[in-house]
């Protein structure tokens, strides 16, 4: 019997993140095995081992590389294809991104063209789908193929965050009028086409809501939709006040703002938290369609990945990268790790 093929991977527990060797996983029928070239971090990567007692595995869900093997039921992809992927969260070790090889459902694979780098591509999957589900499934706004003739205003709080910057780009592809809320990195949503960017710094929720109202009045419009990509008590209160007069719909991305959500004005409906994990559940067909569109948009220059920083040392730098995320040192960009930079 042949020995199992091994790969380098980062094993995460509540108290440690260790570079080790594990068997290369195998894809199931509707999955693919990806030989990773670059992978990226998300805040959930340091949070999950702490939030879920006893959870130990390979973390990470944003990967880019070449398909190594396809499952028996996969027809649209083949070995050698250049791809990025959003792998399943907190289910099985084989889906972990901090590894030389990762398994992904075929439905959350992004076909890539020759122009995009692996480093940029791996910044896209999870945050892009969070933005897409928030705008189109939670708020019910029209997707790019159903662009309305007249722009629909939407408020995006945290427009310079990675999720927020992707929401801005999607909104513009959908002919939405974007009122972005940002701070020191307000240049990001401006560069991406936001129609108005308001600096939240130094403003109370009342003052910021008033500024949003002034921006809408100057455009002769009103907003009934808000996407809170930050989801703090203050951001929820601000958006509640901004939507209260005419009524509207709000989605958040974190559970931490539940107390503020419970106190929203009666005219404002919280349509639920935007959960990216639904891309591997009830929103699977939606995710499959949007990811295939994303690959084409990126190649055509219609959509771009976020700013990123490559961490020296490849997978050996994941521990430091997640510490930086936990300590709040990463804002408006993604941390990326090249597999080839990992020590032997």
Burial 93-103 (b: 16+ CB within 10 A, else e): ebbbbbbbbbb
What is the reported pLDDT for 332? Answer: 86
What is the reported pLDDT for 2? Answer: 60
Residues 74 and 30: beta-carbon distance below 8 Å: yes
What is the reported pLDDT for 320? Answer: 97
Query: What is the distance between the alpha carbons of residues 146 and 334, in angstroms, rounded to a whole number?
Result: 31
Q: If you search the block for the tokens 């020995």, which residue do you land on?
A: 3
Residues 192 and 169: beta-carbon distance below 8 Å: yes
What residue ranges define each of the domains in the chain, with the CATH number in brackets?
A: 6-124+305-341 (3.90.180.10), 128-276 (3.40.50.720)
For residue 190, what is the enclosing H or E element? helix 187-191
Burial 37-68 (b: 16+ CB within 10 A, else e): bbbbbbebbbebbeeeeeeebbbbbbbbbebb
At 141 the three-state DSSP class reads: coil
Q: Along the 344 residues of the chain, how does pLDDT read in single tens digits?
A: 566 899 999 999 888 999 999 999 999 999 999 999 999 999 999 998 888 888 889 999 999 999 999 999 999 999 999 999 999 998 899 999 999 999 999 999 999 999 999 999 999 999 999 999 999 999 999 999 999 999 999 999 999 999 999 999 999 999 999 999 999 999 999 999 999 999 999 999 999 999 999 999 888 889 999 999 999 999 999 999 999 999 999 999 988 788 899 999 999 999 999 999 999 999 999 999 999 999 999 999 999 999 999 999 999 999 999 999 999 999 889 999 999 999 98
């Amino acid at each position: 019997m042949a020995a199992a093929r091994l790969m380098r991977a980062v094993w995460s527990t509540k108290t440690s993140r260790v570079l080790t060797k594990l068997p290369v996983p195998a894809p199931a029928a509707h999955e693919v095995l990806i030989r990773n070239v670059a992978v990226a971090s998300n805040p959930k990567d340091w949070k999950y081992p702490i939030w879920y007692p006893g959870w130990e595995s390979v973390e990470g869900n944003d990967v880019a590389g070449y398909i190594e093997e396809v499952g028996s039921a996969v027809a649209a992809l083949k070995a050698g294809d250049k791809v990025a992927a959003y792998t399943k969260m907190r289910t099985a070790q084989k889906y972990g991104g901090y590894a030389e090889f990762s398994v992904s459902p075929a439905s959350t694979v992004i076909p890539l063209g020759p122009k995009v780098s692996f480093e940029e591509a791996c910044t896209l999957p999870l945050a892009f789908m969070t933005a897409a589900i928030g705008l189109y499934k939670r708020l019910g706004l029209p997707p790019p193929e159903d662009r309305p003739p007249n722009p629909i205003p939407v408020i995006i709080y945290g427009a310079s965050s990675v999720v927020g910057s992707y929401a801005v780009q999607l909104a513009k592809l959908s002919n939405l009028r974007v009122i972005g809320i940002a701070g020191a990195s307000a240049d990001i949503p401006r560069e991406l086409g936001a129609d108005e960017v308001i600096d939240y710094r130094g403003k109370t929720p009342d003052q910021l809501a008033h500024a949003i109202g002034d921006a809408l009045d100057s455009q002769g419009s009103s907003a009934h939709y808000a996407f809170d990509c930050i989801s703090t008590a203050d951001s929820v209160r601000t958006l509640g006040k901004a939507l209260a007069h005419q009524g509207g719909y709000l989605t958040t991305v974190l559970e931490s703002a539940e107390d503020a959500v419970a106190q929203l004005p009666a005219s404002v409906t919280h349509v639920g938290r935007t959960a990216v994990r639904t891309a591997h559940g009830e929103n699977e067909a939606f995710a499959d369609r949007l990811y295939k569109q994303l690959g084409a948009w990126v190649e055509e220059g219609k959509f771009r990945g976020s700013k990123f920083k490559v961490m020296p040392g490849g997978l050996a730098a994941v521990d430091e990268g997640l510490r930086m995320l936990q300590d709040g040192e990463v804002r408006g960009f993604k941390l990326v790790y090249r597999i080839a930079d990992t020590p032997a």
